[in-house]
Amino acid sequence: MGKGQRRGRGKVMRGDTRGPAKNEGSAGPRAGPQTGPQTASRSYRLERLDDFRWQIPRQGAMRVDGLVFATEKLVRAMAGDEAVAQVANVATLPGIVGRSIGMPDIHWGYGFAIGGVAAFDPEQGGVVSPGGVGFDINCGVRLLRSDVQRSEVERVIAPLMDELQRSIPAGVGHGYRDKLGPREVAQVLTRGAAWAVDQGHGLAEDLERIEAGGRLSGADPGQVSARAIERGRAQLGTVGSGNHFIEVGYVAAIYDEELARAFGLVRDQMTVFIHSGSRGLGYQVCDDFLQVMLRAARKYGIELPDRQLACAPLGSEEAERYLAAMNAAANYAFANRQMMAHRVREVIQHVFKKRAAELGLRLVYDVAHNIAKIEEHEVGGVPRRLCVHRKGATRAFPPGHPELPPVYRTTGQPVLIPGDMGRYSYVLAGTEGAFRESFGSTCHGAGRRMSRNAARHEARGRELKREFHERGIEVRGASFATIAEEIPEAYKDVADVVDAVDGAGIGRKVAQLRPLGVLKG
């Protein structure tokens, strides 16, 4: 059994699926579709296996069991959310292997729950579904570390955040007036972060610390629509909207000294989180393929419990086209975060009047949250090539995995888990437990507990910037509504989520980070 695992007590709880729908928290410019889930309302029994695992027993059209990683506290917080039903729905799709998985930060999303993981075997009729990736393809996060001390940052945090806001466009649709040409966009879609580095935006060594080296192979710009390309031409190097942000903070706690040193983390040093994705381009790619996949599901006789799970068999023309376009959008997102990291470095150099090397500004890692990737995993002791969907979930490969860069081959992959903008975030390390049990995956953040509309209502009449200032956090945003939608109480406590992950053994706590300044999209 995994770390902290105890024998099940036979306790049964029900995931109430009758609550209100929520907008998709990791979506594109409009935070996802405005319609609710199209599933029939029903309750699914959650059987407690141990302190951190809850099973949805196979029933009805489910081909495999469902598994939700959570504490009892987090399970109770799921009441009124459709996420449990969505885990069960995913379990009905052709070719699914292992179990349909929900992470501790799980909440309702488009098709798959946000926090959903599932793997499909092409040799067993497995499928790929845009709903298992999301509208914001390769929404992800990167972390920079520094040799700057917290006390030094606190003295300049207000002008630093002002300068970041001036230098990096943030908000719905915001971009640069100078647009990339079509040929440049094609290079971005094909080469990802490497294109940005070649243009002078960052260092070659950055590429060694990005998932997949900052470039997914198999990308085909020809499968990306003209509308998607047009939306992306002016948005490279921009934050976007919704839950995207740039956060300047510091290392508040170390849980594993050896791993922290390997990741370059020490107490009270300045850190920077950058959270964004493929902007309007990725949103449009998903939108373009939803109807394609609905037609494909009818063509191949796939019965869907929810139209939002539209899919096509792996190896089919429709699946190949989608994967080629998705990989291209993912490369755009890698380049987007690379461009922003370069601008962040420039701003910090300007404010501190020192070069990046003197400041020790180095990339720790960059991970994707919304992606479908072909990977090798063992199922029943047999190695298989599977299409692993991670929707609001993070890859968490263990020490020794050949896909990890040499610098992290012995430590396991750095796993970056941002929380809300008022409390804390975490750095974890990938584990063998995650590779065995969750296809090398773990959580991706705190997970919403309040809809955006509800959050705006809760924030009405409050002086949010003053509230944050009094807590020692300088917040900048495109609008009051942007900040209001992301108030801390709109999210679960990420410490609860991370404790569940650590307890289940699908991630290992390394460090806690706290914010000093946040730029919201």
Q: Number of structural domains, the chain?
A: 1
Average pLDDT per consecutive 10 residues, the chain (521 residues; last block may be shorter)? 41 40 33 34 82 96 98 90 95 98 96 98 98 97 98 98 93 69 94 97 96 97 97 93 93 98 98 97 97 97 97 98 98 98 97 94 97 95 96 98 96 97 96 97 93 91 91 90 90 96 98 97 79
**54 falls within a domain:** yes
Handedness of CA 439, 404, 323, 218 (dihedral sign): negative
Angle at 496 between CA 211 and CA 274, to 5 degrees: 35
- Domain assignment present for residue 123? The answer is yes
Rama region for 493: left / alpha / beta (φ>0; ψ in -120 to 50; rest): beta
Of residues 107, 102, 101, the one with CA closest to residue 120: 101
Structure-token pair, residue 355: 């070069």
Q: Which pLDDT score, from 0 to 100, does residue 13 have?
A: 52
Residue 62 in any domain: the answer is yes
CA distance 4 to 150: 34
Q: Which amino acid is at 166?
A: R
Quote the domain boundaries for residue 123. 12-136+372-411
Instruction: Record the pTM.
Output: 0.92
Residue 3 is predicted with a pLDDT of 40
User: Does residue 41 belong to any structural domain of this protein?
Assistant: yes
Does 356 fall in a domain?
A: no
> Residue 206 to residues 271, 341, 430: CA-CA distances in angstroms?
16, 10, 20
Return the active site residues. 444
Maximum Cα–Cα distance across the chain: 64
Asked if residue 101 is part of any domain, the answer here is: yes
> In the prediction, which pLDDT does 340 show?
97
In a domain, 25, yes or no: yes
160 in a domain, yes or no?
no
Is the CB of residue 231 less than 8 Å from the CB of residue 330?
A: no
Q: Are 88 and 280 in contact (CB under 8 A)?
A: no
